[in-house]
Amino acid sequence: MTLRAKAPLRVSFAGGGTDVKPFPTTDGGCVLSATIDRFAYGSLRSRNDRQITIESVDFGTSIDFGVKDPILFDGKLDLVKAVIRELGASEEEGYDLLLHSSAAPGSGLGSSSTVMVCMIGLLKERYKLNLNEYEIAQMAYHVEREQLAIQGGSQDQYSAVFGGFNFMEFDGPSVVVNPLRIRDDTVNELEHNMLLAYTGITRASSEIIEDQTQRLEAGSQETIRGLREQKRLAVEMKVALLRNELSLFGELLGHAWEQKKRMSTKITNGYIDEIYAAARGHGALGGKVTGAGGGGYVLLYCEFHTKHKVAEVLSSMGATVEEFAFAPRGLVTWWAND
């Protein structure tokens, strides 16, 4: 028998960055996001020779070590090793672990944190640990942000665990996930009218987040106003979704992008600006870069009769344009026959 897990990646509509310390402590943050039909996958198969092997399809690398060997953090799959150290210190039997994500690391869909959630899900089932959704997400955050000191917020971990449309509130260390009951016709219309355009650029989000944090700590009024406006827009967009006011939602998505760019000069670049201007010029009501910025995916809302025009022009500019659907479920694990 083989243990498997999958967890969905996410798109963030507004509020990204307000979940990054120290803003949740000073002002309180909130994020509006939804999970999509792109996933991180994990598979764990037991072995009886007291060895652990880890293969990452995304990074094209694999490592192996004994179950009692010291875990060395040397830049090779450190996130995975940190989870094993957190949950597998008493391991007596080995296993083969295979990990893969639908999106490349650094593409802005939260893939690294989602892989972490998958890992915890697998080891939770292996060791029969009684962890609820909040505890799984908090553990993923603790390992990634606190133990390994990788810059970032906490929305990705909670999105991957809970799944669906969520309005998340951050107050210091406290996180509250509010699932949203979005009408089926609203979800269908969103899927009908939205696009993801991959820029082909991957980036280390920690560099952008570090710049944002330094500006915040230095008292940059531009950064502070941008973050506060992100909070306000997250609330407005939540209301628009619940009321099925999708043209307004699309326009607010564009406003969220304008405010996001105030948070750091590294959030956009010339190519992203060109893509966004072309999309708006061909009928997109609004859009924004997913994740920290600097590359990855651009999320766009279009009226359906202009959507194909937006896709054509962005494809001609070198972007990879994709349709997507929303994923209502979060982390799942199951056993499969070999």
Token pair for residue 13? 């509509």
Amino acid type, 204: A
In order of 51, 134, 160, 211, 282, the CA distances from 137 in angstroms are 28, 5, 8, 25, 40
Residues 240, 252: contact at Cβ < 8 Å?
yes
The per-residue pLDDT for 151 is: 87
pLDDT in tens, 311-323: 999 999 999 999 9
Q: What band does 108 get if pLDDT is binned at 50, 70 and 90?
A: confident
The per-residue pLDDT for 176 is: 98
Instruction: Give the three-class secondary structure for 156.
Output: helix
List the CATH code of the domain at 184-322.
3.30.70.890
Name the β-bridge partners of 179: 166
Share of the chain above pLDDT 70, in %: 98
Q: Give the mean model confidence (pLDDT) for residues 23-52.
A: 95
Q: Is 165 left (phi over 0), alpha (psi -120 to 50) or beta?
A: beta
Q: What is the mean pLDDT of the chain?
A: 93
The H-assigned helical ranges of the chain are 23-26, 78-87, 111-126, 133-141, 155-162, 184-193, 205-217, 221-242, 246-260, 270-281, 304-316
Q: Assign 3-state DSSP to the chain and report helix, strand, coil percentages, each to 5.
A: 40, 25, 30
Report how far residue 181's alpha carbon sits from residue 123's, in angstroms, rounded to the nearest whole number. Answer: 31
The per-residue pLDDT for 264 is: 85
Name the β-bridge partners of 78: none
Sheet containing 320-322: which strands, arranged edge to edge? 284-289, 297-302, 194-198, 320-322
Token pair for residue 70? 């010291």
The per-residue pLDDT for 234 is: 97
The per-residue pLDDT for 285 is: 97
The per-residue pLDDT for 8 is: 98
- What string of DSSP letters covers 241-253? HHTT-HHHHHHHH
The H-assigned helical ranges of 172-268 are 184-193, 205-217, 221-242, 246-260
The per-residue pLDDT for 281 is: 96
List the CATH code of the domain at 2-181.
3.30.230.10
Q: In the chain, where are the structural domains located?
A: 2-181, 184-322
Q: Which of 40-54, 156-170, 188-202, 215-229 is most confident? A: 156-170
pLDDT in tens, 180-235: 999 999 999 999 999 999 998 876 677 788 888 888 888 899 989 999 999 999 99
Report how far residue 33's alpha carbon sits from residue 168's, in angstroms, rounded to the nearest whole number. Answer: 8
pLDDT in tens, 76-90: 999 999 999 988 756
Residues labelled catalytic:
156
* CB neighbourhood size of 143 (10 A): 25
Q: Which of 92, 202, 213 is nearest to 150 (CA)?
A: 213
